[in-house]
Amino acid sequence: MRHIMPVVVLSVLVAAPHVCAATAASFPLSLLPGSTPVQARVMKIGLPIEAQRIALRFQAAIADQPEWANTYLAHAKPDQPLPYHPNFRVTEKEYAYLQSVAKKPQLVQVASIRLSTERLPNGALRLVTQPSTVRINGFIIAPDATSATTPLARLTEVNRINNQDKDSATGRWTGTQWQHKPSAAEPLLAMKLAIGKRIDNGDGIIYFSVRNSKNGRNDIDYEALLFPVGK
């Protein structure tokens, strides 16, 4: 059913209108931490904690009243928020708050890790995370920043990120994106890696997304990290 909550799309993290061709020199490797680890936050798009609590009560009320819920939903307008009803078991004010935050994507912290880099003999930088289960662990940025290498593919298309939308999930930020697009040789894999700095917060951001259909499923995953950068 498409009536309960607005859909939040992942593309708000790296929006196409803010991407343009870039030269390798536009990415400062000094933005990343060195061999000394820094604390980084693993982020996902989601709701604030209070909104999550309200959403759980709302969902429980719907599940606890299936006959009423089916009747109520049958009269709802597609792609429109449900009008408030006391059977939601949240207050009208809480429901309005839930609707408002659901329309505006936010980054919510889901974990804390240690992030560092390792300089390789050829001058490339390897991203290192502790624990090593984070998706970006082991990714390598070429010495001239013309490509990024991951276990799944080498990302060779380089673009500049210039997101000036303060209402986006990340807020305003600039940086560099490496991309691997589906091709005739490999039509089932698409990947993006972006590294930059948030303008209003002053911290660094790493974003990675992958769509992998090689195994017969359309697996889509993403990861965003925020980390402190030097002045």
Same domain, 75 and 168: no
Same domain, 208 and 144: yes
Overall pTM > 0.85: no
Q: List strands edge to edge, sheet with 154-155.
A: 19-21, 157-163, 173-180, 189-198, 204-212, 219-227, 38-46, 106-119, 125-130, 140-141, 148-149, 154-155
Say how far residue 153 (Cα) sits from the centre of its chain: 20
Same domain, 31 and 132: yes
* Backbone φ and ψ of 105, nearest 5°: -65, 145
**Residue 164: CB atoms within 10 Å:** 12
Tokens of 65: 């009243």
The reply to whether 2 falls in a domain is no
> Which one-letter amino acid corresponds to residue 82?
L
Say how far residue 168 (Cα) sits from the centre of its chain: 11
Same domain, 132 and 209: yes
The domain total for the chain is: 2
Same domain, 92 and 111: no
Residue 81: predicted pLDDT: 82
The reply to whether 87 falls in a domain is yes
The reply to whether 23 falls in a domain is yes
* Bridge partner list, 195: 176, 206
Distances (CA, A) of 170 to 11, 59, 219, 222: 11, 27, 23, 14
Residue 21: predicted pLDDT: 52
The reply to whether 4 falls in a domain is no
Residue 182: predicted pLDDT: 77
The reply to whether 119 falls in a domain is yes
Rounded-to-integer distance, Cα 62 and Cα 175, Å: 43
Same domain, 37 and 150: yes
Rounded-to-integer distance, Cα 223 and Cα 44, Å: 7
Tokens of 159: 């673009």
Residue 168: predicted pLDDT: 85
The reply to whether 5 falls in a domain is no
Same domain, 59 and 42: no
Same domain, 208 and 124: yes
Same domain, 133 and 93: no
Same domain, 76 and 40: no
The reply to whether 30 falls in a domain is yes
Same domain, 190 and 156: yes
Tokens of 163: 């997101």
* Backbone φ and ψ of 29, nearest 5°: -60, -25
User: Which residue range forms the structural domain that includes residue 88?
Assistant: 49-102
Say how far residue 89 (Cα) sits from the centre of its chain: 31
CB 170 within 8 A of CB 163: yes
Question: Going residue by residue through the chain (231 aa), what tens digit of pLDDT does each one get?
Answer: 334 343 333 344 444 435 555 555 466 778 899 999 999 999 988 888 888 899 999 999 999 999 999 999 888 888 788 899 999 999 999 999 998 888 777 888 889 999 999 999 999 999 999 999 889 999 999 998 999 999 988 999 999 999 999 888 888 999 999 999 877 666 678 899 999 999 999 999 999 998 877 666 666 788 899 999 975
